[in-house]
Structure 1
Amino acid sequence: MSRVLSPRVLPAFLPWPASRVCNRCHPASSVAVRWQSGLSRLAICLGFFVAALGISEGPASADDLLVDRGRQVEGLWVYPSLSEPSRWRYVPDHAELSRDDQGRPLFSLTFYISERTAEEENGSATSIVEAEGGGLLHFIVQYRTDPEQVEAAQAALRELTGDDEAEIVGSVLFDDGRYSVVTSIVDEAGQGERPLLMAQRPAPLMEGNRLPITAQLSAEQASMLLGSLQTATPDLSVVFEMTFSGLSQAFDAAMVVDWEKTRDALRASAGGSVYFVSADVEAVIDEAMQNGGIELRVNGEDAAMESLVEMVHARALDMMFAPIEVDEVPEEQRGDLLDALAGVVGRDGALSSGNTTGFGVHMGYRVKELRSEGETRLSFNKRARVERRAVLTVNLGEAAGLSTEDPETVQYVSTVDPATQLRRVYVSVDGDLERELGGFINAVTVTLRKDHPGNRETVKELIVRPETEERGSVHGPLTYSNVEREDEQSWLTYRYKTDWSFQGGGRFRSDWHPTEAAMITLTAPYHRHDVYVEGETDPLIDAGVRAVITEVVADFFGERQSERRIIRPDRPGETLAVDPITLTLPSGDFSYDWTITWAMDDGTRRKRSGHDDLGFLFVDELPPGPGDSEDDHAADDTAATQQEEN
């Protein structure tokens, strides 16, 4: 018996950085980005949630986890291995403020004072003036799990499963991770009513790795933060959102997309917007399910309906939207997106209520061009790779053991002679990029340029190569002086650019970027885009197709790349569940050229090509061949139109 379901939709989420060091934290470890002016209110308790994100089809590996068979024991979520069911892996339990060898929290708030004369203050002689200054915030966080908890979970797991060989062998292996810092001290309008997204940055992928965070504050912000730190739940929280993957079970079900109704749902929910946050994406998919644009058709009864619904949401997300970094959004539209992201973590937002989402805490999205026509049917009758998210949150309150009376935690310093100051700028490589150096990336050249008064300039260069890169290391510093005694604000400002050399000859040179950050974080100027080959083998066999050859070609900074897949529908057991074609494209670009060639049993060939960014190629819709009837031609013309629109 076949049932058509309109599943309910799940909830939504969100994230910040800055510059300098503390006495207990090595300066070369600082991940530094300028703290935006304005901060906002969020009291987040320690917590952890896991939610499905997306799916992709592909072969299983020996280390794959069975994500539908997870158990929660002693407060830990654990998942069994596909190849060795007695071997389990756990999801890290919590995030926390790191500590030194004496158990002291690695946290410092330094107030600095810049002296000014009476004449500089108001042009008159007076004996007392107010000094200018600010604050430097530096702290280190990590996520981890207590070994005692793992041991207790293993004992409970053996009792629960009846398997005396059950063993928890370690943490899950994260594929990706992001962190965000959210606070609520003062926004630019002075309202202090909503949290601000302070950063979205890559997080360490290995449990126990420490993440240093630095921020430069105004004097007012530093004072307000100090007051907030004296409360039980100060306005300073760090959220880790980590992604891992495993295999789901197969379902006797299919997803049917009516493209016209889906576009109607998008127009109804989006208006004229191109950029979305996770909550908006959910609204679009929910509307598409309500108006019949997306249907889930299930044969018989399926007990694992929640997993099936999550897969439908993930596939709909892949077909309609592409994830995008805030930095990739045009400046004139970036403010609206940041406001929308910040709203998700407000007092009434999804994060404040403890909800999780399949679409990500940190994510912004760009709408794809939906040019397909008619209906598309996607089957779930085979195992699929499913992504899961672990959200780990720490609030730097009493639980972190901070004491504002400790001179190592709160310090006051005075800047003396600016001419003796030397600015140090470090270069860090995010976790994903570390794995690419020496493989896809030959080297990255970072050039710093500082313009001084009197038309003097300082130019420094640093090359990041595989032989200079060590996991977790920070490069540099690149330095410049302040002999001209510039005011501190202008002296901190410099420009930098990056020059990327890729294997195969590709090259990318960025524009000059002005910044005040003490850390330049290298992030890849490219992304991976999967193109899935979809269709049914029976129509191909009936049409006399011996083989289907799909080829995708794309531009990568002046170099052409191509990938090919061959399918033999007449082979026993042959399916279209081949690995996706993975393209490496410049950031913000999802387009490619495609060609599908059908080799027929009679020796003839049929071919169709086009340009697209959808991420799906449907190969069971053949173009008309010689000798087809008028009805066949009409049907094939319709199929051709649909494929061209793709």
Structure 2
Amino acid sequence: MKKIGFILLLAGMTSLRLVAQPVLIEEYVEAAGLICFPVYGDSLTFKYLPSRGRLATGANDLPEFSFLQYAMVKTDGPATSSAITEASGGALIHFLVLYDTPEDQVRKAENELRRKLKRRELVLTGPVEINAGKFMLVSSLLVDGKEQKELIGTGIAPVFQNSKVAFSFLVEPLKAQLLMESFKMNTPDISITFDLEFSGLTSAYNGQLVVDWSQVQHSEYAHESVDAIFYSRDVEKTFGSLVQNGAIRMESYGKDSIASDLLTVAYDRLLKLMFDPVRPDSIPPEKTRGVLDEIFGSRGLLGSLVGGSDIYKKQTIRTSGKTVVQINSRKLVSRHHLLTFNIGDLHKRYGADARIFRKAAIDDPTYQQREVLVNLDGSIRDEFENMINSVSVTLRKRHQNGDETLREMFLSQASLKDYTGNAKMIYLNKSDANRTDWLQYDYNTQWHFKRDGSYSTGWVSANTPVINLHTPYKYRRIDLMGDMIALQKAGIVAVAVDIEYPFFGNTRKDRMTIKPGKPGKDNEDYSLEAILPLGTDKVNYKVTWIYKEGKKVAVSGEDEYGVILIDEIPVNN
């Protein structure tokens, strides 16, 4: 494939909140530095991927970024013979970022597309819809004389172009000092990478993949520890190895279905059958640098087909039987677009500006106030359209003199339009002599949904200067997989799949009926979507097989991986 200035990586299937007009993934055209895709069903309409990430700017084009180094008296250290000892402290990094595409670049790309494709009526209407996004703040630091990449923090990126999202991180003293030295360099190596997930349709294929689980048991994959970490390239190698030893068999029908293409299209399904994604910031500290080397190394993401910046652990898999993944139409797949930008020479330009870089000694409690920032993750804005009616965050500070301070922040769809990313709640020092206790507070988050009532987190104790607000639920796509030909041969005319799961005191239900003998739509995938509270992975399901003569056979179970096999009819029925 021609090398271009972006990275597309195959990943797990996106949720069912699908875009109204999916793009054709494999028919992209590069124009004026933009990656452009035709819209399915409309060859004259194209959409593009955003081309740049950057720090947001405020009044007078001042970057919305601050780096506060702070020090405070350390009272609990061991006694020493020195009169000068190390204080406690660290740094607080706060910034607003966004990704966008310059309008003049869009117009140039549109004109270039018209020339390349010889279609004067062609229009480049807007950006490809982003389903989900995340970001990583990474810096190269000199540690023991060697340059090493350090993961400073991760967060959820906005799903809308030009939407600012705020992030704040606390950094320990040593890392804060090293980070400041990096800022002072002529070319600071401090970068932010957006990993933006979008979906689109593949070409139409005709074939299937068969996974023989007894053969998988004899592979190296089966003997890996459940705690083993798989990077994107490891996943790619695993699937390739399973194809070579016959554990995964590809069957293509017709000249338009190349076996290697079938494997590429089926990667998302195989991922769900065999791997679970793991966030980089959940990896133990001793393994973090290895993660960054895999993502940003010499080969890194450029050599991978799956996963974006995801890392994986293996699932507990079956030991026998076979799973058939049919690929007989266009498939909606999820891909990743990576945007990386360097923060730049901020210290050179603003090192003397206390609004950007500041040092503070926290040593006079009388005149101090405690500021607690409230960060909204990038997906919340979209969820006010789908699920959320309003959310409120209440902060409670119980002072050492017996007083109590209450602060509250309220967000609705209307007020979100005016949100600038600098929401904060403040309390003063009221005879709080114990400095550590003064930093401690409680907060409660109350979510009100458009349907299904409300949810309260209850009072949560914290001492960090940031409350990260993210939705208390997640979307889980449940793929319904099976060999439709085998179902037809067994005399099955319909398969009904019911799911049921808890949602904050309520029960949500959904159903899909599949008719094996009836041809589906060109881009149809059989799947259901569950909206699960965080910490909940299991969904109860019931599969009912209906025979030609009217007989029904049903089986119930519990799914936690997002896959229900509908061709495993009970033997004794």
TM-score bracket for the superposition, by shorter chain length: 0.7 to 0.9
| Rounded Cα–Cα distance in structure 1 between residues aligned with 2:78 and 2:317 | 60
Task: Between the two structures, name the one with larger relative contact order (CA 8 Å, sep ≥ 6).
Answer: 1
**1:92/1:207 contact within 8 Å kept:** yes
**1:95/1:392 contact within 8 Å kept:** yes
| Rounded Cα–Cα distance in structure 2 between residues aligned with 1:527 and 1:61 | 18
Compared CA separation, residues 536 and 477, structure 1 to 2 (3 A): same
**What residue number does 2:23 align with?**
65
**What residue number does 2:127 align with?**
171
Compared CA separation, residues 341 and 360, structure 1 to 2 (3 A): farther
Q: Secondary structure at the match of 1:564?
A: strand
Larger strand proportion of the pair: 2
**What residue number does 2:242 align with?**
288
Q: Give CA deviations for 1:301-321 in whole Å, capped at 9, x if unaligned.
A: 558776544323222112222
**What residue number does 2:181 align with?**
227
1:260 aligns with 2:214: yes
Q: CA shift at 1:533, angstroms?
A: 2.4
| Rounded Cα–Cα distance in structure 1 between residues aligned with 2:497 and 2:114 | 48
**What residue number does 1:407 align with?**
353
| Rounded Cα–Cα distance in structure 2 between residues aligned with 1:496 and 1:60 | 35
Amino acid at match of 1:407: D
Match of 1:424 among 354, 367, 371: 371
**1:226/1:404 contact within 8 Å kept:** no
**1:70/1:77 contact within 8 Å kept:** yes
Amino acid at match of 1:484: S
Q: CA shift at 1:102, angstroms?
A: 4.3
Amino acid at match of 1:198: I
Q: Give CA deviations for 1:408-429 in whole Å, capped at 9, x if unaligned.
A: 5544555563222222323343
Q: CA shift at 1:553, angstroms?
A: 1.9
Q: Secondary structure at the match of 2:425?
A: strand
**What residue number does 1:478 align with?**
425
Q: CA shift at 1:383, angstroms?
A: 0.7
Match of 2:273 among 313, 316, 319: 319
**What residue number does 1:530 align with?**
477
**1:186/1:221 contact within 8 Å kept:** no
Q: CA shift at 1:240, angstroms?
A: 0.6
Compared CA separation, residues 501 and 351, structure 1 to 2 (3 A): farther
Amino acid at match of 2:193: V
Amino acid at match of 2:130: F
Compared CA separation, residues 622 and 353, structure 1 to 2 (3 A): closer
Match of 2:301 among 355, 372, 377: 355
Using the size of structure 2 for normalisation, the TM-score is 0.84
Q: CA shift at 1:509, angstroms?
A: 4.5
1:82 aligns with 2:40: yes
1:210 aligns with 2:164: yes
Q: CA shift at 1:91, angstroms?
A: 1.2
**What residue number does 1:198 align with?**
152
**What residue number does 1:92 align with?**
50
**What residue number does 1:563 align with?**
510
**What residue number does 1:3 align with?**
none
1:521 aligns with 2:489: no
Match of 1:148 among 101, 104, 127: 104
Compared CA separation, residues 529 and 618, structure 1 to 2 (3 A): same
Amino acid at match of 1:53: A
Q: Secondary structure at the match of 1:250?
A: coil
| Rounded Cα–Cα distance in structure 2 between residues aligned with 1:604 and 1:587 | 39
| Rounded Cα–Cα distance in structure 2 between residues aligned with 1:494 and 1:352 | 45
Match of 1:615 among 551, 562, 573: 562
Q: CA shift at 1:339, angstroms?
A: 4.2
Compared CA separation, residues 606 and 204, structure 1 to 2 (3 A): closer
| Rounded Cα–Cα distance in structure 2 between residues aligned with 1:571 and 1:469 | 45
Amino acid at match of 1:608: V
Q: CA shift at 1:219, angstroms?
A: 5.6
**2:215/2:247 contact within 8 Å kept:** yes
Q: Give CA deviations for 1:191-248 in whole Å, capped at 9, x if unaligned.
A: 8764333322111222233344444455654443333223243242111111111111
Q: CA shift at 1:66, angstroms?
A: 0.9
Amino acid at match of 1:85: S
RMSD: 4.0
Which stretches in structure 2 are left out of the alignment for 5+ residues? none
Compared CA separation, residues 161 and 488, structure 1 to 2 (3 A): farther
Q: CA shift at 1:262, angstroms?
A: 2.7
**What residue number does 1:547 align with?**
494
Q: CA shift at 1:530, angstroms?
A: 1.9
**2:387/2:449 contact within 8 Å kept:** yes
**What residue number does 2:342 align with?**
395
How many residue pairs match? The answer is: 567
Q: CA shift at 1:523, angstroms?
A: 1.3
Q: CA shift at 1:520, angstroms?
A: 1.5
Amino acid at match of 2:97: V
Compared CA separation, residues 78 and 174, structure 1 to 2 (3 A): same
Farther-moved stretch of structure 1 (512-521 vs 299-308): 299-308
Amino acid at match of 2:340: T
**2:159/2:382 contact within 8 Å kept:** no
Amino acid at match of 2:32: E
**What residue number does 1:39 align with?**
none
Q: Secondary structure at the match of 1:312?
A: helix
| Rounded Cα–Cα distance in structure 1 between residues aligned with 2:16 and 2:452 | 30
**2:110/2:122 contact within 8 Å kept:** yes
Q: Give CA deviations for 1:86-120 in whole Å, capped at 9, x if unaligned.
A: 22112122223344564554444445566899xx9
Q: CA shift at 1:618, angstroms?
A: 3.2
**What residue number does 1:53 align with?**
11
Q: CA shift at 1:366, angstroms?
A: 4.9
**1:50/1:390 contact within 8 Å kept:** yes
Compared CA separation, residues 617 and 473, structure 1 to 2 (3 A): same
Match of 1:592 among 515, 539, 545: 539
Q: Secondary structure at the match of 1:151?
A: helix
**2:6/2:338 contact within 8 Å kept:** yes
Farther-moved stretch of structure 1 (148-157 vs 310-319): 148-157
Sequence identity, in percent? 28
**1:275/1:365 contact within 8 Å kept:** yes
**What residue number does 1:248 align with?**
202
| Rounded Cα–Cα distance in structure 1 between residues aligned with 2:243 and 2:320 | 17
1:580 aligns with 2:538: no
Match of 2:549 among 599, 602, 606: 602
Within-5 A mapping of 1:622-641 = 622-623=569-570, 636=571
Q: CA shift at 1:343, angstroms?
A: 1.5
Amino acid at match of 1:67: I
Compared CA separation, residues 488 and 263, structure 1 to 2 (3 A): farther
Using the size of structure 1 for normalisation, the TM-score is 0.75
| Rounded Cα–Cα distance in structure 2 between residues aligned with 1:58 and 1:310 | 21
